[in-house]
Amino acid sequence: MRVPKAIQNLIESFERLPGIGPKTAQRLTFYLLHVPQGELDKFSHSVQNLKKDTVLCSICFIVGESDPCYICSDEKRDSSIICVVESPLDVLSFEKSGKHNGVYHVLHGRIDPLNNIGPDEIFIRQLLERVKGLSNGFKKEEIKEIILATNPTMEGEATAMYIAKKFGELKTQNSKLKFKITRIGRGLPVGADIEYADEVTLQRAMEGRQVYE
C-alpha cells in the first residue's frame, strides 16, 4: 500500500516527538483523519501559536504568557525562597501540591555530559546572578533559602552538587550572603521524575528537605 504524502509527513512529524514510536505515530495520524475538520483547524491553530503566545520569564524562566510571569509578579509569594527545578512541568507539579509559597528557577535541563549538556547549556549562570541581585527586574532582597529540587537521578544529583558548589564559592566570596541550601528529601525515590510524583509524595519531599552544603 502506498501511503499518501500528507499522511507520511504527519507520521514522520509525530515520530520526532519524545516517547512517540512509529506505531503510535501511525495511530495518531489515522485517528486525526476521522476528526472533524473544525477540530483539526483548532488543533493546527494551537500548534502554530504555541511559541507565538508564550514567553520565558526573564526572572525564573518559567514558560508563561507574560514577563515577569504570574508567580514572580505575585507579591504574596515569598521571593526569599527559590525552588530550583529542571523543567516547567516540575513547577506545575509543585504548584499542584500547594506546599511551596516561594518562587522558582527553571534550569530547562540538567547537567548530562553523555549528551554534551554542561552547566553553560542550562540556566545555572542566571540563577547565580539572580541570587546576587543582578537579574533585571528581580527584587533585591535577602535570599533565605535555595531549594535544590532537581530530579533524584544521577544527572539530577550531579546538577544539584554543581549548583551547591557554586553557591558555596559565592558565599565564601561574599560573607554577607547567609542563605541556606537545601535538597528535597524523603518521598522521592532515586531514579524518579518529579513530573510523575503525586501530591503527597511531593509534600513529604518538601517537608523532608535537608541542608545541602
Domains for the chain: give ranges and CATH numbers: 5-48 (1.10.8.420), 57-211 (3.40.1360.10)
**Given the C-alpha cell 533585591, which residue does it identify?**
140
Average pLDDT of the chain? 86
Predicted pLDDT of residue 77: 94
Rg (CA), the chain: 20
Closest by CA to 97, choosing from 191, 186, 208, 197, is 197
CA angle 188, 76, 97 (to 5 degrees): 25
Judged against a pLDDT cut of 50, whether residue 15 lies above it is answered with yes
Percent of the chain's residues with pLDDT above 90: 51
CA 84 to chain centre: 8
Contact present, 101 and 77 (Cβ < 8 Å): yes
Judged against a pLDDT cut of 80, whether residue 205 lies above it is answered with no
User: Where is mean pLDDT largest: 111-120, 132-141, 168-177?
Assistant: 111-120
Predicted pLDDT of residue 141: 61
